[in-house]
Amino acid sequence: MVSGLHRPTQLVIDRQAIKANIQQELKTLPQATALWAVVKANGYGHGMVEVATTAKHAGATGFCVAILDEALGLRQAGFTEPILVLGITSPAYAKLAAAAHISLSVGSQDWLAAALPVLQAGQLTASLAIHFAVDSGMGRIGFRDAPALQQADTFLRQHAEFNLEGLFTHFATADEQDTTYFKQQVASFQQMRQALAVEPRYVHVSNSATSLWHAACNGNMIRFGVALYGLNPSGAALQPPYPLQPALSFESELVFVKQIQAGAAVSYGATYHAKQTEWVGTLPVGYADGWQRRLQGFHVLVAGQYCEIIGRICMDQLMIRLPKQLPVGTKATLVGENGGQTISLQDVAAYAQTIHYEIACNLTERVPRIYLPEKA
């Protein structure tokens, strides 16, 4: 997608905030526990390569992504650190992953059996690093019983084409106050862990939520994801043990200002009619940028005041009710601080009845990312 460099709309990413969040987390970890930065989905909308660079400077020693192409993108950008693909990759690409020293998640012996002839075809320059995924209750991917995991472990150790590097699971409710199901998953994983003949180099169960609120479960590596970006994994249900610094701001400016009379309609469907004479501003932001139509009725900040989004959000533009006539070019803040007031991604998510992950990931490549420098 073409990036909109010639319109006054941008995401501002604070590298120092990312660095601070990682360094705060590292202070809580035992020295032998590694932190791998989760930079999937274009760094949760923040920019994969730029976030990975900052995370590395801050002390991250590896990376987690969702798909093989993201891992290859990091390699092409020059990163030599360990990279784990958290999702299931087709066995057809096993040799490609091995050649690039990319670790893959595996949840069945069938996958190993299908990947073996791929690895055996022609010259293999490196064994394929595997992390066994355990489905301890997430219901997504992974081994569900100890005998199946044992059999896969035996198969893997019989073939030098594979190298068991890790064992992991993912918790479904680590960000909730009720820990009943979380404890069930912990017990299930520990039982499965005993099925392996030899424990691999990395045993990891902790995403951001688990590491923040259940640090005793961390293993020797954590997958630091949404908290890296300064976002609370629980939304507002739980408070983190240290302040998280949000890294993303979303800014635009007024490109058109007009006065409308009582009864005048605004935007598609004429769903909004002015109740009195009103000043209306237009911002060059729309659902093609990830600001979805369901945010009609929410607000942005202009001159330190909350201004309601009126009428349906268009593909490329939205309209807001202004407190008074303001000049074209006045800054408008969709996420972040403006005039002493703040709109957080969590505020946006709460209004949209979703989670802040979705809001951040939906921000499209058409919106340029501007990166503030790290402090020395």
Q: pLDDT tens digits, residue range 268-285?
A: 999 999 999 999 999 999
Give the C-alpha separation, 107 to 170, whole Å: 13
- For the segment 163-199, what is each residue's pLDDT rounded down to a tens digit? 999 999 999 999 999 999 999 999 999 999 999 989 9
181 is catalytic: no
Domains of the chain: 15-229 (3.20.20.10), 248-354 (2.40.37.10)
312 annotated to bind ligand: no
> Which of 19, 183, 268, 331 is labelled catalytic?
268
Q: Can you give the pLDDT at residue 124?
A: 86
48 annotated to bind ligand: no
- For the segment 100-143, what is each residue's pLDDT rounded down to a tens digit? 999 999 999 999 999 999 999 988 889 999 999 999 999 999 99
Centroid of chain to Cα 163: 28
Please state, as a whole number, how many other Cβ atoms lie within 10 Å of the Cβ of residue 305: 15
40 is catalytic: yes
Q: Can you give the pLDDT at residue 213?
A: 96
- For the segment 206-222, what is each residue's pLDDT rounded down to a tens digit? 999 999 999 888 899 99
> Which of 19, 40, 44, 272 is labelled catalytic?
40
Q: Is the pLDDT of residue 376 over 80?
A: no
Give the C-alpha separation, 329 to 246, whole Å: 26
